[in-house]
Structure 1
Amino acid sequence: MLQKPPTLLIVDDAIENLTVLNALLSPLYRVRVATSGEKALSIACSEPLPDLILLDVMMPVMDGYEVFARLRADRATRDIPVIFVTAMDSVEAELRGLDLGAQDYLTKPLVQPIVLARVRNQLELKQARDLLSNQNAWLESEVASRLEENDIMQEVSIRALAHLAETRDSETGNHILRTQNYVKELALCLREHPRFSATLDERYITLLHRSAALHDIGKVGIPDQILRKPGPLSADEWTIMKTHAAMGANAIEMAERDAARPVAFLGLAKEIAHWHHEKWDGSGYPDGLAGEQIPVSARLMAVADVFDALVTPRVYKPAMSLVETREIIAAGRGSHFDPDVADAFMDIFDVLVEIAQRDADPERGHGVTVAV
């Protein structure tokens, strides 16, 4: 396929100048002409767009400088190279044109070999810029595509690991999906709060939502007779059950060690897995952390996890009503839960209930049994 010749736009109010330039350039290029600034602006925006504009400076109504300014102000024409053409043979005039951003400057009377050389040089430079721009655009697209692919692979891997824990505990159902969404909504509610605004930026919330899926990954290490027991656990069994928090954190830490560089979501996942059973008053497990010692991610998950455990049926208990659930979370404010996180829970309670209903375990119907 033959390549089309570059398109030039020649702008001059003097017909004789247009005739000379057209005769010189048309054997090599596709030439379009305009006898006024207004006409030049119209042609410059129409297909085929010029690859180069030769613009006379001294024109009535709208001079070349104003035409140039309008070309640069328009997204469609701002990157078209311009060579000023003028009879003003002065350093000041040439500097003014170049300072405005013109690519080159020709003075009348025109010398044909110089005109041809300047035009050819500017077209070659434009071709190189366009090639570089296209390569950069391709690279940006390729990077974005790879990042998106890595993002999807990361999310799928997380979900796969989370479902591994889920298969061990048949009662969890959509628990992972629901708690991810509860945590996200709580974080969004608190992102402007003075105590949380420095932490809960957009990136943190995205990573939090993703890593929350691994909060119970340690349950893969709990024996079936304890994990699937339909009745209350004995004291010894409960001691074993509580080890799932540290086991989950240890497993994620091992994954961190295997990574070639730090992976942000794994750090959050480790925090959540390790400390989402800690309590604000220090009576939780496994480390008895209290107050601000508990990472923000784990404090958010503590509320999300308890809420879902209460409003959904488990093998060892029926679902609790919304009224009772709300009262229990409220009663845990300042003892089990960070007071501000508990307050956020109350503020968006209806949103969380909607998530519980939307993502209820399909085999059981809605986990939420009583309307507000």
Structure 2
Amino acid sequence: MSNERAKILIVDDDAMNRVVLSDLLSDEYDIIEAKDGDEAIGILETTAKDITLVLLDMIMPGRDGLGVLEVMNEKGWIKGTPVVMISAETSTPQVERAFSLGVTDFIYRPFDQMVVQNRVRNTIGLYLKQMQLSELVTDKIYERTRNSDMLISILSHIVEFRNGESGQHVLHIKKITDILLRALLKRTKEYKITEEEIGTIATASSMHDIGKITIPDEILNKPGKLTKEEFDIMKQHSMNGAKMLDAIQFFKNEPLMKFAYDICRWHHERWDGRGYPDGLKGDEIPISAQVVSVADVYDALTSERCYKKAFSHEKALEMIRNNECGVFNPLLLECLGDVADTLPKELNDQRTSKLSDADFEKIARSIFESTENDTENIIYEQYLTEHKKSQFFASLQHGVTFEYTYEPSMLKLHARNAKALSFPTTMAEPENNSEFWTIFGRENWDEFAKLLHDPQLNNDSFSFNSEMLVKGKKCPCKIKVQQCWNRRDPENPELISVYGCVEFFK
């Protein structure tokens, strides 16, 4: 704690009054004097932040006490510096005016030593407590907001990576949701959405697909059409996500989480009742989920995915209006029409946010507080693994990225790179696939497998030089690899997957 004494500015045109007040207070406080209002303002111009309290005479020639208060309000000094007014004036209009300008208390002449000292001491003490409380509340609000943003970034970032999307989908959904809600407010007050709630709903929209981390990769990233059985599994993501959010203790009672739950669970419901998981119809569907459903479909149509090319803005609007992606609230379709001309430009302005490893670790731990619940710990470990994976791939500049899982045995290559090299994008049980051995070579694999299971390399990236067959020609390359281990049994860690990048030498 600082030993620096509080500073009091005494403003009075009567020199004797300044001397008396200074004698009464100088044992506890450092005193600064001003003989009139203009001199006081000059002092405050340069030292307002250092002044703990102003004792201000109400009646002075030239600029009086009320005039000084008006300037303190204009400059914003009154918010940081309490003022006790000195006066023999007791007229109600003058006193009311002083209080309306922010005066904290009054001291009347002739001065009483005990009254002066106690009122000054109490005013300073009260002000300091208010400032401490204000700072505490501000810090808490900042921390919660910051943590909330990081939480959203974590959840959405993981889904983006596993779903093979462009890295902008979540940001697009957030922006479109915000735009559509504002258009909706212009058209109707029926849904009772406040201006303040728009931002909360838009932020919550970032978690609409968090349940997809529970869907197997071979279904999530299948390039072709899903079978009925696969689609039934895919549809589970909305309810799975809602259950995950409901289990999170962090922000449990926040409006953000209420909106996020509604959106996560019901953004695949449709106006005619033919959506999932609950078959809600019309306005049985929360408006937040209705808006996100439109945003989600529009961005899905206009984005390239592993199973389709991007449609144009105009074609996407046509498909949505023709109910080719399900039936939507007619009012929301009108809102989409209202913003259609500006939507592409708005989305092009979006930029991906970044999250540090330290921040990720902090918030990820706060999501799952229990150390006893195996399910929560597994999900927590998955968060960390997926984040580490995304950071690895983000650090790469070029090459063919890949991932290999042991259970099930599956090798996946980035669709675009694989196509350019005439490689398959997915190989089930590659060790039993002749095409895999043609590309990679058994000798190369034996060397690779030996490195993978070297305990000295656990949890570390490593690289080695090799060669692969590309379009019938052997090409030298460098393979960078990162291992993922299940360490729930420290004595017997289990290698569950590897991922990495193949860089060909020019």
Give the secondary structure class of the aligned counterpart of 1:337.
Answer: coil
Is 1:262 aligned to residue 253 of structure 2?
A: yes
Structure 1 stretch displaced more, 237-246 or 190-199: 190-199
Runs of 5+ unmatched residues, structure 1 = 13-17, 35-39, 86-92, 108-114, 366-372
* d(CA) in 1 for partners of 2:285, 2:221: 29
Q: Is the 8 A contact 1:280 1:334 kept in 2?
A: no
Match of 2:487 in 1: none
| d(CA) in 2 for partners of 1:45, 1:286 | 66
Q: Does 1:247 find its partner at 2:240?
A: yes
Measure the CA separation in 2 of the matches of 1:97 and 1:298.
55
Give the counterpart of 1:75 among 69, 72, 77.
Answer: 72
The one of 287, 300, 317 aligned to 2:291: 300
Measured at CA, do residues 172 and 253 of structure 1 come closer, stay the same or move farther in structure 2, by a change above 3 Å? farther
Q: CA deviation at 1:43?
A: 3.6
Superposed CA offset, 1:182-223 (max 9, x none):
111111221233244512x13321221111111111212222
- Superposed displacement of residue 71, structure 1: 4.8
Q: Is there any run of 5+ residues in structure 2 with no aligned partner, and where? A: 45-50, 99-104, 353-393, 399-414, 417-506
Distance 2:13 2:83 in 1: 14
Find the aligned partners of 2:91 and 2:243 in 1 and give their Cα distance. Answer: 68
2:224 is the alignment partner of 1:231: yes
Q: 1:22 to 1:145 in 2, by over 3 A?
A: closer
Equivalent residue, structure 2, for 1:84: 87
Aligned residues: 329
The answer to whether the 8 A contact 2:58-2:66 is kept is: no
Structure-2 residue corresponding to 1:15: none
1:309 corresponds to 2:300: yes
* Equivalent residue, structure 2, for 1:217: 210
1:11 match: secondary structure: coil
Match of 2:280 among 289, 309, 317: 289
**Deviation at 1:31?**
8.4
Task: Measure the CA separation in 1 of the matches of 2:91 and 2:146.
Answer: 53
> 2:124 maps to which residue?
130
| Distance of aligned partners of 1:286 and 1:2 in 2 relative to their CA distance in 1, 3 Å threshold | closer
Q: Is the 8 A contact 2:297 2:325 kept in 1?
A: no
Match of 2:188 among 190, 194, 203: 194
Q: Find out whether 1:354 has 2:351 as its counterpart.
A: no
Q: Secondary structure, in 3 states, of the residue corresponding to 2:297?
A: helix
Indicate the SS of the match to 1:46. Answer: helix
The structure richer in strand per residue is 2
Change (3 A) 1:242 1:81: closer
* Gap change, CA 1:336 and 1:83, over 3 Å in 2: same
Structure 1 residues 99 and 204: alpha-carbon distance in aligned structure 2, compared to 1, 3 A threshold: closer
**2:291 aligns to what SS in structure 1?**
helix
User: What secondary structure is seen at the aligned counterpart in 2 of 1:198?
Assistant: coil
Greater relative contact order, per chain length (Cα 8 Å cut-off, separation 6+):
1
Q: Residue 41 in 1 paired to residue 43 in 2?
A: no
The structure-2 alpha-carbon separation of the partners of 1:333 and 1:138, relative to structure 1 and needing over 3 Å to count, comes to farther
**Aligned position for 2:13:** 11
Q: Which amino acid aligns with 1:346?
A: G
How far apart are residue 67 of structure 1 and its match?
Answer: 4.1
Q: Distance in 2 between matches of 1:326 and 1:4?
A: 65
Displacement of 1:9: 4.0
Stretch of structure 1 that moved more, 2-11 or 315-324: 2-11
The secondary structure found in structure 2 opposite 1:350 is coil
1:341 Cα offset (Å): 1.0
Deviation at 1:245, TM superposition (A): 1.5
Residues 285 and 104 of structure 1: CA distance in aligned 2, closer, same or farther (over 3 Å): closer
C-alpha separation between the residues in 2 aligned to 1:269 and 1:352?
23
Q: Is the 8 A contact 1:51 1:126 kept in 2?
A: no
Structure 1 SS opposite 2:279? coil
Letter in 1 for 2:109: L
1:152-167 aligned at under 5 Å gives the runs 152-167=146-161
Q: Is the 8 A contact 1:280 1:291 kept in 2?
A: yes
Q: Percent identity?
A: 26
Among 166, 170, 178, the alignment partner of 2:164 is 170
Per the TM alignment, residue 313 of structure 1 is displaced from its structure 2 partner at its CA by 1.0
Give the partner amino acid of 2:240.
Answer: M
C-alpha contact (below 8 Å) 2:201/2:256 kept by paired residues: yes
> How far apart are residue 160 of structure 1 and its match?
1.0
* Residue 320 (structure 1) shift: 0.9
Check 1:123–1:70 CA distance in 2 against 1; reply closer, same or farther (3 A cut): farther
Report deviation, 1:51: 4.0
Tell me which amino acid in the other structure corresponds to 1:103. Answer: F
Letter in 1 for 2:37: L
CA deviation map 1:200-253 (0-9, x unaligned): x13321221111111111212222221111111122222222222222222222
Q: Determine helix, strand or coil for the equivalent of 2:315.
A: helix
Name which of structure 1's ranges 296-305 and 165-174 shifts more when overlaid on structure 2: 165-174
Superposition TM-score, scaled by structure 1 size: 0.74
Distance 2:196 2:19 in 1: 60
SS of 1:81 mapped into structure 2: strand
Contact 2:251 2:257 in 1 (8 A): no
Q: CA deviation at 1:342?
A: 1.0
Show the counterpart of 1:322.
313
Question: What is the TM-score normalised by the length of structure 2?
Answer: 0.56
What secondary structure, in the 3-state scheme, does the structure 2 residue paired with 1:192 have? helix
Question: Which of 52, 55, 60 is the matching residue for 1:52?
Answer: 55
Q: Are the structure 2 counterparts of residues 99 and 182 from structure 1 closer, same or farther at C-alpha, using a change threshold of 3 Å?
A: closer
Q: CA deviation at 1:171?
A: 3.3
1:369 aligned partner? none
Opposite residue 225 of structure 2, the aligned amino acid is P
Matches within 5 A, 1:274-285: 274-285=265-276
- Determine if contact 1:177/1:359 at 8 Å carries over to the other structure: yes
The CA deviation at 1:267 is: 1.5
The match for 2:491 is none
Q: In 1, distance between residues paired with 2:239 and 2:183?
A: 29
